[in-house]
Amino acid sequence: MITQKYLDELTYKLIGCAIEVHKELGPGLLESIYHKCYLNEIFRKGLNYSSHLNVPINYKGETLDTELRLDVLVEDIIVVELKAVEALHPLYDAQLLTYMKLLQKPKGILINFNCTNIFKEGQKTMVNELYAGLPKQ
């Protein structure tokens, strides 16, 4: 059974993966490089993931193939969106929340590798009503 505690522990591991990549590479590289290294860290932790997953849209009962593509889905439960930008923009929050909604996932993490400290300024976690409905333990 999936609980809030399980998701929080998984989130901690995933942010730890980002911190490890950032410690090794620092800021200033392309997002694609961080993406590959981040996937390597997730793999080293023994976690299952899908990368560059197409996000379908159900429009008036019809599933449409779209150009929406999320960066990483971990353990089929947490959406991770990676950035290497000067600053996190509210548009990125909306993007992550939309992916979570469309895929019916309770939690998401936004990570920006172009920062000084991933934990303090380079990550943001988001939850939705699905998370709120999960048992705590």
Q: What share of the chain is helix, strand, coil (3-state, %, to 5)?
A: 40, 25, 30
Tell me, what's the pLDDT at 66?
82
Reported as a pLDDT band with limits 50, 70 and 90, residue 42 is very high
**DSSP bridge pairs for 63:** 58
pLDDT tens digits, 50-66:
999 888 888 999 998 88
pLDDT surpasses 90 at 1: no
CA distance 75 to 50: 8
pLDDT surpasses 90 at 30: yes
pLDDT surpasses 90 at 35: yes
pTM across the whole model? 0.94
| CA distances in angstroms from 39 to 21, 32, 130, 135, listed in the order given | 10, 11, 26, 29
Mean pLDDT of 68-83: 96
pLDDT tens digits, 110-122:
999 999 999 999 9
Amino acid letter for position 9 = E
First to last CA, the chain: 10
Reported as a pLDDT band with limits 50, 70 and 90, residue 68 is confident
